[in-house]
Structure formats: C-alpha cells, structure tokens
Amino acid sequence: MISPDLAADLPVEHDVQVLGIETSCDETGVAVFDADRGLLAHSLYSQVPVHARYGGVVPELASRDHIRKLLPLIDGTLAEAGVTGAELDGVAYTAGPGLIGALLVGGTLAEGLAMGWGIPAVAVHHMEAHLLAAMLEDPVPEFPFVALLVSGGHTMLVDVKGPGEYQVMGQTLDDAAGEAFDKTAKLLDLPYPGGPALAELATQGQAHFKFPRPMLKKPGLDFSFSGLKTAVMLQVRELEAGASLSESKRADIAKSFEEAVVDTLVAKSARAIRQTGYTGLVVAGGVGANLSLRSQLRTELGKLDAQVYYPRLEFCTDNGAMVAHAGLLRLQAGYVSTGGVVARPRWELSELQAMVSD
C-alpha cells in the first residue's frame, strides 16, 4: 500500500522530476513537474466526444479510451519536457477516488513504467491533488487555509492546517455542486458536460426565478443540493405545461440556478473563514472554473479581508499537473507505493496522513 516509512531515495545532485498521470474519470492528463523549475510540460486529452452522445460518462468507454490515449500522451509530454523516463525520479498517479476501471488503467501503467525505469511510484489522492493545485500559481497560498472543494463528485469545506493535514468542516449531504450543475443542465436539454454549458447559457439570462438557497439558514457548514434540483425541475415542468420553454426562459432558469448555487457556496465559505479566523480560501475542483463563483467569492471574502486563491482555469478541472505536483510533495515526504497498484474508488480525504518532510 502507501507507506511513509519507506523513504523514497530522492537524488540530491539534480532537480527532482516527477511524471504525473490522471485517469480517474473522463480526462487523460499527464504532466512533468520539477521541484525547482516547476511545471515542465502538461497535456490533456478530454473524452467529451466519447461520452457526449450518452449524456454522461460511460465508465467502460472511459477505461478503453484511457488505454488508447495514455501512452502516446506520456511520450509526447516527456518529449516536450525534454526528459527521458530514465531521468525521472518518480511516477505519480491518481489512485482514487474515481472510476475503478479508469483508475486501474492509469495505476497499472504508472506502476509498470516506474518498475521499468527503476524509480518509485506514488499513489495520489485525487482531491488532495485538486486541493494543492492552487500552489502551482503565484502567489502561492500559505498554510493554514480553508479549501472549498467543488467537483462533480464532491462538495466540501476543508480546514487545511498543512500538507496532508485535512479536517473536513462541512460537506454535501446529497448531490455534489458539479452534479447539481450537470443534472440541471440535462433538464434544460444542454449537452454533456453540463456545468460549463449551463454556465454559458446563464450569461444570457436574468435571475428572475427565486430558487432556494439550501441549508443557508441552518448553522454549520454542510450543503444540500437535491432540493434545489427538484425546485428547478418543478419550475421547468410548470413552464412547459402546454408550451415549450422559450430560449430566454431557459437562460433565466440557468442564471437563477447558478446564482442559488453560487450564493450558497459563497455564504458557507465566508462562514468557514469567520469560524477559523484564517485569511485564505483556496478553491479547487471543476466548479471552481465557474466565473460567477470566482467573482462573487472575491467580492464577498474581500469584505472579510480574506484572499481567494484559484488554480488557473485549466487546472480547476481534472489534469495531470496537479497529480505530478501532489505526487512530488508526497515523494519528498517519503511516500512511495509498495505492493502493487493502488486503486480506491472510495477514499476519504481524512484518511490521509500529514506530510512531514525532513
């Protein structure tokens, strides 16, 4: 499994370079990260065209497509970075949470390559990689901070005391924020992937519909989005009775929905900042690419003198750079994977151990 006591034998005579592989869902991401020089190269292959006609991710097709794309992507990324496999110091791969077949493709190849090159492999937690992705930017957020993790599978506020020291302060009791975006997009007949399509439609609408801001009046930091989704569904049905939904009404619904989600995420993030007294909020995960969320967070948290940190837009959604970066930190803290491929479809963030580097 994953062990901190088998200290990775990292070289001191040259820069430490790690290959990162992300295959947990529907993006094949590869990157090379250098401890001193930062990101040397990264490539992403999106499976959107593969899944689009099914309206969502088909796990078996995802696995097969990762098999097709991963090796050529690794070859190309290494060439772009000007690094050969033999010059690398480790191979990091997303070991979970995610789709089991997709994880196994990335994990098996990563472990095989590491064995062939005679270097360590390291299993990376996908949400930890998202959470630390803002550290790839300038300015780098300082610990401790609050992280708002908003992806297709997770919505949580995390007290990040240090690398690997994560305490979940609140999370969704049902749907994740990204999932709510995707389901509402489907309801509005928008193409997969729903989140970006809905956000795009929302730019043409007005927030005329007053949808609930779930759990805002209750104390605490948990979220719930299934009631909001139902409210949107009932509204759409009411409008559709006897007539098809006009373009402007669809845009208004998209805008009203987006505003309800954003208001809720912003209010709870502000509450988490007040509760901890921290001065930094790091936003991570695919929904972090939402421009309305980004601007509202900046405004509202600015009022609390807190700074908001985001990864660049392309590193909000799944990518190899965040895996290479998190893998490097884990390797430097002595974590290597032993005993074969690690693939954990379910893996709680709180199970991770603090990274203590010497």
Instruction: Write the interaction track for ligand KG4 spanning residues 199-238; mark x where CB under 6 A is met and - where it is not.
Output: x---------------------------------------
Q: Which is nearer to Zn ion, 16 or 21 (CB)?
A: 21
Applying CB under 6 A, what is the total number of residues that bind ligand KG4? 19
The reply to whether 287 sits near ligand KG4 by the rule CB under 6 A is yes
Applying CB under 5 A, what is the total number of residues that bind Zn ion? 2
Side chain identity, residue 276: T
Span of 145-153, 182-190, 206-214, 257-265 interacting with Zn ion by CB under 5 A: 145-153
Nearest to 287 by CA among 317, 314, 315: 317
Provide, rounded to whole angstroms, the least separation between the CB of residue 287 and ligand KG4: 4
Q: Please, which of residues 161-180 interact with ligand KG4 by CB under 6 A? A: 178
Q: Which residues contact 156 (CB under 8 A, 6 or more apart)?
A: 148, 149, 168, 169, 170, 171, 172, 349
Provide, rounded to whole angstroms, the least separation between the CB of residue 258 and ligand KG4: 8
Q: Which of 95, 289, 331, 355 binds ligand KG4 (CB under 6 A)?
A: 289
The reply to whether 21 sits near ligand KG4 by the rule CB under 6 A is no
96 binds, options ligand KG4, Zn ion, none, Cβ within 5 to 8 A by partner type: none
Provide, rounded to whole angstroms, the least separation between the CB of residue 96 and ligand KG4: 11
Residue whose tokens read 């930091």? 221
Provide, rounded to whole angstroms, the least separation between the CB of residue 198 and ligand KG4: 7
Please measure the distance between the N-terminal and C-terminal CA atoms of the chain and give it in whole angstroms: 22
Residue 161 near residue 167 (C-beta atoms within 8 A)? yes
The reply to whether 141 sits near ligand KG4 by the rule CB under 6 A is no
Distances (CA, A) of 166 to 163, 314, 350: 8, 24, 6
Q: What are phi and psi of 116, to 5 degrees?
A: -65, -35
47 binds, options ligand KG4, Zn ion, none, Cβ within 5 to 8 A by partner type: none
E strands present in 112-185? 121-125, 145-150, 155-162, 165-171
Span of 40-48, 62-70, 191-199, 332-340 interacting with ligand KG4 by CB under 6 A: 191-199
Sheet arrangement for strand 155-162 = 165-171, 155-162, 145-150, 280-284, 307-309
Instruction: Write the interaction track for Zn ion spanning residues 10-49; mark x where CB under 5 A is met and - where it is not.
Output: ----------------------------------------
Q: Which of 155, 224, 317, 332 binds ligand KG4 (CB under 6 A)?
A: 317
296 binds, options ligand KG4, Zn ion, none, Cβ within 5 to 8 A by partner type: none
Q: Which of 107, 153, 164, 327 binds ligand KG4 (CB under 6 A)?
A: 153
Q: Which residues contact 117 (CB under 8 A, 6 or more apart)?
A: 85, 86, 88, 91
- State the DSSP H helix or E strand holding residue 323, giving kind and residue range, or none if neither: helix 320-332
The span from the CA of 42 to the CA of 20, in Å, is 9
Residue 73 near residue 30 (C-beta atoms within 8 A)? yes
Q: Which of 145, 166, 181, 310 binds ligand KG4 (CB under 6 A)?
A: 181
Q: Which is nearer to ligand KG4, 25 or 251 (CB)?
A: 25
- Residue 17: strand pairing partners: 34
Q: What are phi and psi of 149, to 5 degrees?
A: -100, 115
The span from the CA of 21 to the CA of 319, in Å, is 8
Using CB under 5 A, list all residues that contact Zn ion. Answer: 151, 318
Where do contacts with ligand KG4 occur on this chain (CB under 6 A)?
Answer: 25, 151-153, 178, 181-182, 193-196, 199, 285-287, 289-290, 317-318
